[in-house]
Amino acid sequence: MFSIYLFAQNDVGGDLLRGFFGAAIVIWLLAIAATVFWIWMIIDALTNEPTTNEKILWFLVIFFLHFIGALVYFIVRRSSRKRPAL
């Protein structure tokens, strides 16, 4: 009977629930950061691309590929714009 009483005092469910809430918070923070980055790249593509055709092309790439498209734009276009001209 003593072992049943000790088992009842164990808070296994609470630890599991706190773990799920912690993981959910991390996932939400990553999703918010990815959304902010995505919006930032859309605005950057629409304001800094030189021609209308490039603006439309990059907008469609970023819009339909979401985070992956924004990451491609960031790596390909923004890094090439920031290089100093020799």
Give pLDDT, residue 3.
53
For residue 34 the two structure tokens come to 């990815």
Alpha carbons 66 and 73: distance in angstroms, whole number? 11
Supply the pLDDT for residue 13: 61
End-to-end CA gap in the chain: 82
Residue of 64, 60, 62 whose CA lies nearest to 37: 62
The pLDDT value given to residue 30: 97
pLDDT at 4: 53
- The pair of structure tokens assigned to 24 is 């959910």
**pTM, rounded to two decimals:** 0.72
Residue 18: per-residue pLDDT: 80
Residue ranges of the chain with pLDDT lower than 70?
1-14, 82-86
CA distance 20 to 24: 6
User: What local confidence, expressed as pLDDT, does residue 78 receive?
Assistant: 73
